[in-house]
Amino acid sequence: MLKKTDFYIDGKWVAPEVAKDFEVINPANETPFATISLGSEADIDLAVAAARRAFESYSQTSREERVALLEKLLEVYDRRAGEMAEAISHEMGAPISMANHSQAAAGSGHLRATLKALKNFEFEHDFNDAGERIVQEPVGVCGLITPWNWPMNQIALKVAPALAVGCTVILKPSEIAPMSGILFAEMIDEAGFPAGVFNLVNGEGAVVGEAMSRHPDIDMMSFTGSTRAGSAVTKAAADTVKRVTLELGGKSPNIVFDDADLSKAVKTGVLHCFNNTGQSCNAPTRMLVQRDVYDNAVEIAAEVGQKVQVGDPSEEGRHIGPLVSSMQFDKVQGLIETAIGEGARVVVGGAGRPEGLNRGYYVRPTIFADVNNDMTIAREEVFGPVLCMIPFDTEEEAIGIANDTPYGLAAYVQSGSPERANRVARRLRAGMVQINGAQRAAGSPFGGYKQSGNGREGGTYGLEDFLEVKAVSGYQATA
């Protein structure tokens, strides 16, 4: 049993002000494998004070100094990437192959993209030849709250740009999957960042997250998680009028037109939906298929879905693992049962665990056909390996169904006509649209419309979220 009950505050590992042990559960076997401590408002006060002190000097460092620190962090991260993958696999159930190639790799990928953006970023420029200088400066002390589903992806997307532009931070990773965040703090320490620049306090959202959100000496909150929790962060932050950026839920449409490469489009859509056991906010969970190829698409989806394997995350392979927790397991099972009760047709899977697995938070990869967009399964974010298939007749109807959601994170379009694909992509109310399986580029802005949040993460856009804009009139260049 690992014991990691200290917090990283002001460049040191320190005991919590009041000990409150919390067991971290391995979702593959439902047994604890580590103990952390849950923090309190007093711990946040110490972390914020350290970050505020450090900001005075760190905010004045040069681009070159910050590049050197981030390059050292990347070097340490790459050397310890195997440890990171193991931590993620144990804490949230990602199969070790995926943990290595996707989960842990996301951290180094975002560090590299941030470094590239930082080296080319224009922090100052003259405005309109009017003797005015526009200066972009770090926003200040930042509270960062990250989720359990892609822990290093989200930590890197927040910590790296904040530190890159000269902010100081307090990180609260998910208490369900905290081990990767603790390991990241060890890497920060090894890389030699000044004391107080990065701080980590574990804890519950209702306690530590709340204390961060309303703290008067935190200038900005960056949150990734559920829409409900993001709303709570925003409300708690309102009295101090701090900046709040949010990356929240999704119910992303995947529109398959009758001129698409049907076999490829459906197979890719199913596997993408089930990736990470469906625990991705941008998963294409609503497959909208043009009616004249709908029955064929359902048959293809069934064939693909039946081949998806579920298994032990400690084993190499392309299988999917368990859900992260008993709470998530119960939620997904409940939504599957609700869908059946509302008349959705089970094509693959259904309620219960996969055959041969009676322990661990494993669920059956499930595909529903004959869904309409008013059903619960088409409206609520499941966050499990559950796909619903919805028929449509016309392009206009497809766009209407796709946009008929409170979310707007991602959308996907499959068509053999570039003109139609481009036309539809422009009308979809989503922050990211991918056509015919095209992948997002490194440093591309990640974020959404509507209740999927505000702000953008990644590359140059990620740097801008952590900057204030200052206009200096009467500015005169000096030697």
DSSP 218-246: --EEEEES-HHHHHHHHHHHGGGT-EEEE
CA atoms within 13 A on the CB side of 146: 30
Encode burial over 155-181: b for 16+ CB neighbours within 10 A, e otherwise: bbbbbbbbbbbbbbbbbbbbbbbbbbb
> 247 an active-site residue?
yes
Q: What is the DSSP letter of 291?
A: G
User: Concatenated DSSP letters for 243-259?
Assistant: EEEEE-----EEEE-TT
Question: What is the three-class DSSP state of 209?
Answer: helix
Residue pair 354/374 in contact (Cβ under 8 Å)? The answer is no
C-beta separation of 466 from 167 below 8 A: yes
3 state SS of 168: strand
Helix (H/G/I), strand (E/B), else coil: 339: helix
- Residue 422 phi/psi, 5-degree rounding, is -65, -40
Q: Which residue, 318, 286, 297, is CA-closest to 386?
A: 286
CA nearest neighbour of 287 among 304, 266, 308, 307: 266
Distance CA 235, CA 245 (A): 13
Catalytic residue among 273, 281, 381, 457: 281
Q: Which of 91, 175, 247, 381 is catalytic?
A: 247
Q: What's the N-to-C CA distance of the chain in angstroms?
A: 60
E strand or H helix that includes residue 467: strand 467-473
Instruction: Report CA 251 to chain centroid distance, whole Å.
Output: 14
Contact 71, 160 (CB under 8 A): no
Helix axes 179-191 and 63-79, enclosed angle (nearest 10):
130
Question: Cα separations (Å) of 253 from 288, 317, 399, 411, 442?
Answer: 7, 28, 9, 5, 23
User: CA–CA distance from 191 to each of 55, 194, 263, 441 (Å)?
Assistant: 18, 9, 47, 27
Catalytic residue list: 247, 281
